[in-house]
Homo-oligomer: A and B are copies of this chain.
Amino acid sequence: MLEFAILGLLHERPMHGYELRKELSTVCGGLRAFSYGSLYPALRRMKDSGLIAVDDTVAASKLLPADASAFTGKRGKVVYKLTADGKERFAEWVAETGPDAYDDERFGVHLAFFSHTACDVRLRILEGRRRKVEEQREGLATALARTRERLDRYTLELHQHGLDSVNREVRWLSELIDTERADQARDPAPGPRP
């Protein structure tokens, strides 16, 4: 999850760890603030596996080159950029529409990078998510129906609020699906939309 969010963000521009974390928590509405304890190790792993690389083209840089630390023991900013491999991996991930793609977190990340996603994939993901949320709704509704009288008013409130939220999400998704379909009908070209 973290890794894909990083790939997605680096798609826009090269960034260093601290910057990535801020973007993660603010720019991408649904995405949470990962801690440095997971962010930096992730960056390292991704660098080692070739998905990202240190960007030393930072113009007129006062920044220490990443390797300088080996000599000086000092650390400078380390700006990362996507590699070809990283782009490819992200494209693969973005096109995945398996059942996992519809759980809360993954769906949020998917949506956050929908501008890098093909029309048909977008539609499939939105519909899959809607189906999943609808199933959740049914589960909640029947559970509520079966246990309504045994429940104290707080649990009842909790259930009811949950049900309302789920209903709102379904409506929201339906709207997104509608406009998506309308767009596709108007301009049936596939591929990402900027």
Contact residues of A with B, CB < 8 Å?
26-30, 108, 111-112, 114-115, 139-140, 143-144, 146-147, 150-152, 154-155, 157-159, 161-162, 164-165, 168-169, 172, 176, 194
Contacts and interface: CB of A to CB of B under 8 A. Distances in A.
A144 to B, nearest CB: 8
A108 B155 CA distance: 9
Copies per complex of this chain: 2
A172 B164 CA distance: 11
Given A26-B143, A29-B162, A111-B158, 11 more contacts: A27-B143, A28-B155, A29-B158, A30-B158, A111-B155, A114-B152, A114-B154, A115-B155, A152-B194, A161-B169, A164-B168
A169 B169 CA distance: 14
A26 B147 contact: yes
Contacts of A176: 157
